[in-house]
C-alpha cells in the first residue's frame, strides 16, 4: 500500500501537448525536487491516435482511471482533421459523464491589474467562481435528425434536467460559498423561456438556499447576467448554472481575467450534504483542464499561453492535499504577469517553453 497518487495525463490535440508539456514539468518538479508522491501516466489519446487506429477512449483505460487514478490532467481536444469531434466527444464526455463529475468548477480571477479589460474595474473586482453543471443539459446527446438534408429537416437536441442533477450542483455551489466565506450565490437560468426545465432550477435554487441563511441567494436570467458580468463583475461571488450556460459564461469570464490562456478548471464529484445523491461510493477521480480548447491556428508555433495549465495543476495539487502549492503556483503566475514573463496574449513576448522555463526557475528559487 502506498500513498502515491497516479495522475493520468491526456495532452490531446492542437496546443494541448504544448501547454501540458509545461504543466508536466511543474508536476515533475514537485515529484523529483520536492518529493511529492506523484506518478504520471501519459495516455496516447487524441486525434493522432484516432486517425491512426480509430481508438477514442478504451473501456479498459476508463476502468483503470476510475479505479486507480487520483486525478486526470487534460490539455485540449479538437482537431480539424476530425470534423465531427468523435474522438474528443468520447474522451471528454467519457471522463465527465463516466466519472459522474457533475461540478465543473471554473474560478474567474484576474491575477494582474492589466489583465482586466474593463475601464472602471481592477483585479480585485474580478474574483468569482462558476459552478457549471457538467453531466446533464443539452450535453447528454439525446435527440436526432429527421429528413436530414431536405427542406423539411428536423433537428432535436434534448435538454435534460433532473431534480438530483440540479440539486446537487446547487448545493455544491452553496457549500463552496460557505466553506470559502463567500457571501452571495447567483443562479443563472432562462426560466422565462425554458419554462419546464428552468422552473426546476428556479424552484430548487430557492429551496436549497433556505439551508444557507447566511448566504444571499440571487436569481438572474442568463442574458442579464452576461450584461452584469461586464458592467460590474465585483457583485459576483459564486454562480451556479446549467451545463451550456456555464460553458458560455466561463469564456466571457475568461475575457475578464486576461483571456483563455489564464482560465483553469476542475471537474469534481463533491459530496453534498442533505441531497438525494447521498450514497457515498468510493472516492472519485477528479479531472483538471484549462478552459481553453485546442486553438488549432496556434498549434506548433510556441505561442500558446501555458499559464492556464500551470494554474490547473495548482488546482489539482490543492485538491490532492497540497493547498500551499496551489497558492505558490498562483503567486508565480501573478509574478509572471507583473514582470511580463509571459506570452503575447497577456502582454509579454516569451514563447510557451520559455514561460515554462521561467516558472520552473521561480519554483526552484522559492524552495
Ligand atoms: P479555443 O479555446 O481553442 O480558442 C479560442 C481563442 O482563444 C482563439 O483565439 C485562441 O487562439 C485563443 N486561445 C485559446 N487558448 C489559448 C492559449 N492557451 N494561449 C493563447 N491563446 C489561446 O476555442 P475554439 O477556437 O472555439 O475551438 C478550437 C477547438 O478546441 C475546437 O475543436 C473546439 O471544439 C475545441 N475545444 C476543446 C475544449 C476542451 O478540450 N476542453 C475546450 C474548448 C474548445
Ligand atoms: C469546454 C469546451 C467543451 C464544452 C466542448 C469542447 C465540448 O467548450 O470545456 O468549455 O462545451 O464543455
Ligand atoms: Mn467552453
Q: Is the pTM of this model over 0.75?
A: yes
288 pLDDT above the threshold of 50:
yes
Predicted confidence (pLDDT) per residue in 222-241, tens digit: 999 999 999 999 999 999 99
Mean pLDDT over each residue of the chain, to the nearest integer: 96
For 141, phi and psi rounded to 5 degrees?
Answer: 75, 15
- The mean per-residue pLDDT over the stretch 193-205 comes to 97
Residue percentage of the chain with pLDDT more than 70: 96
Closest ligand, as measured to the CA of 308: 1
> How confident is the model at residue 212, as a pLDDT?
98
DSSP 8-state secondary structure symbol assigned to residue 111:
S
Predicted confidence (pLDDT) per residue in 84-128, tens digit: 999 999 999 999 999 999 999 999 999 999 999 999 999 999 999
Pocket flag, ligand 1, residue 304 (CB < 6 Å): yes
Distance CA 348, CA 106 (A): 24
pLDDT band at residue 272 using 50, 70 and 90 as cut-offs? confident
Pocket flag, ligand 1, residue 348 (CB < 6 Å): no
Grid look-up 490532467 returns: 73
Give residue 183 CA to ligand 3 midpoint distance, Å. 27
Distance CA 209, CA 194 (A): 22
Around ion ligand 3, residues with a beta carbon closer than 5 Å are 247
**From atom 32 of ligand 1, which residue's Cα is the shortest distance away?**
78
Give residue 23 CA to ligand 2 midpoint distance, Å. 20
> How confident is the model at residue 26, as a pLDDT?
98
Closest ligand, as measured to the CA of 298: 1
Pocket flag, ligand 1, residue 246 (CB < 6 Å): no
What are the residue numbers of the active site? 139, 190, 223, 247, 251
> How confident is the model at residue 1, as a pLDDT?
45
More confident residue, 153 or 271: 153
282 pLDDT above the threshold of 70:
no
Predicted confidence (pLDDT) per residue in 34-87, tens digit: 999 999 999 999 999 999 999 999 999 999 999 999 999 999 999 999 999 999
pLDDT band at residue 284 using 50, 70 and 90 as cut-offs? confident
State the closest ligand 2 atom to the C-alpha of 88, by its place in the atom list counted from 1: 6
> How confident is the model at residue 3, as a pLDDT?
86
Residue percentage of the chain with pLDDT more than 90: 95
State the closest ligand 1 atom to the C-alpha of 76, by its place in the atom list counted from 1: 40
19 pLDDT above the threshold of 80:
yes
Give residue 243 CA to ligand 3 midpoint distance, Å. 10
Cβ atoms 315, 266 nearer than 8 A:
yes
Give the CA distances from residue 264 to residues 80, 118, 267, 288, 302, in Å, rounded to whole numbers and listed in that order: 24, 21, 11, 8, 20
- Which segments of the chain are extended strands (E)? 5-12, 38-42, 69-76, 103-109, 127-133, 143-146, 154-157, 184-189, 216-221, 238-241, 264-268, 286-290
194 pLDDT above the threshold of 70:
yes
> How confident is the model at residue 229, as a pLDDT?
98
> How confident is the model at residue 281, as a pLDDT?
59
pLDDT band at residue 362 using 50, 70 and 90 as cut-offs? very high
Closest ligand, as measured to the CA of 14: 1
pLDDT band at residue 280 using 50, 70 and 90 as cut-offs? low
Amino acid at each position: 500500500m502506498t500513498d502515491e497518487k497516479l495522475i493520468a495525463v491526456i495532452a490531446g490535440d492542437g496546443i494541448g501537448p504544448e501547454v501540458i508539456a509545461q504543466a508536466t514539468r511543474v508536476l515533475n518538479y514537485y515529484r523529483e525536487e520536492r518529493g511529492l508522491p506523484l506518478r504520471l501516466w501519459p495516455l496516447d489519446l487524441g486525434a493522432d491516435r484516432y486517425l491512426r487506429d480509430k481508438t477514442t477512449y478504451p473501456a479498459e483505460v476508463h476502468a483503470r482511471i476510475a479505479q486507480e487514478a487520483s486525478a486526470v490532467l487534460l490539455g485540449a481536444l479538437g482537431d480539424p482533421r476530425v470534423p465531427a469531434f468523435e474522438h474528443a466527444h468520447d474522451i471528454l464526455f467519457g471522463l465527465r459523464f463516466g466519472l459522474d463529475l457533475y461540478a465543473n468548477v471554473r474560478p474567474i480571477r484576474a491575477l494582474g491589474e492589466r489583465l482586466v479589460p474593463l475601464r472602471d474595474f481592477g483585479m480585485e473586482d474580478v474574483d468569482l467562481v462558476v459552478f457549471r453543471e457538467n453531466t446533464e443539459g443539452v450535453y447528454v446527446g439525446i435527440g436526432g435528425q429527421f429528413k436530414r438534408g431536405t427542406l423539411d429537416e428536423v433537428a432535436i437536441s434534448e435538454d435534460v434536467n433532473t431534480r438530483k442533477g440540479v440539486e446537487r450542483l446547487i448545493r455544491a455551489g452553496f457549500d463552496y460559498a460557505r466553506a470559502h466565506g463567500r457571501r452571495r450565490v447567483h443562479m443563472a437560468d432562462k426560466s422565462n423561456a425554458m419554462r419546464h426545465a428552468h422552473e426546476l432550477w428556479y424552484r430548487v435554487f430557492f429551496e436549497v438556499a433556505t439551508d444557507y441563511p447566511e448566504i444571499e441567494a440571487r436569481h438572474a436570467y442568463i442574458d442579464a447576467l452576461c450584461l452584469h458580468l461586464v458592467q460590474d463583475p465585483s457583485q459576483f461571488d459564486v454562480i451556479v448554472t446549467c451545463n451550456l450556460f456555464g460553458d458560455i459564461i466561463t469564456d466571457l469570464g475568461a475575457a475578464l481575467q486576461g483571456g483563455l490562456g489564464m482560465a483553469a478548471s476542475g471537474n469534481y464529484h463533491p459530496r453534498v450534504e442533505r441531497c438525494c445523491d447521498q450514497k457515498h461510493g468510493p472516492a472519485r477521480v477528479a479531472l483538471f483542464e484549462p478552459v481553453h480548447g485546442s486553438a488549432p491556428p496556434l498549434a506548433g508555433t510556441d505561442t500558446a499561453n501555458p499559464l492556464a495549465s500551470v494554474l490547473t495543476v495548482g488546482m489539482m495539487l490543492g485538491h490532492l492535499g497540497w493547498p500551499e502549492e496551489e497558492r505558490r503556483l498562483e503567486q508565480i503566475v501573478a509574478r509572471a504577469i507583473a514582470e511580463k514573463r509571459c506570452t503575447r496574449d497577456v502582454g509579454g513576448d516569451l514563447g510557451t517553453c520559455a514561460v515554462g522555463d521561467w516558472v520552473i526557475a521561480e519554483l526552484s528559487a522559492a524552495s
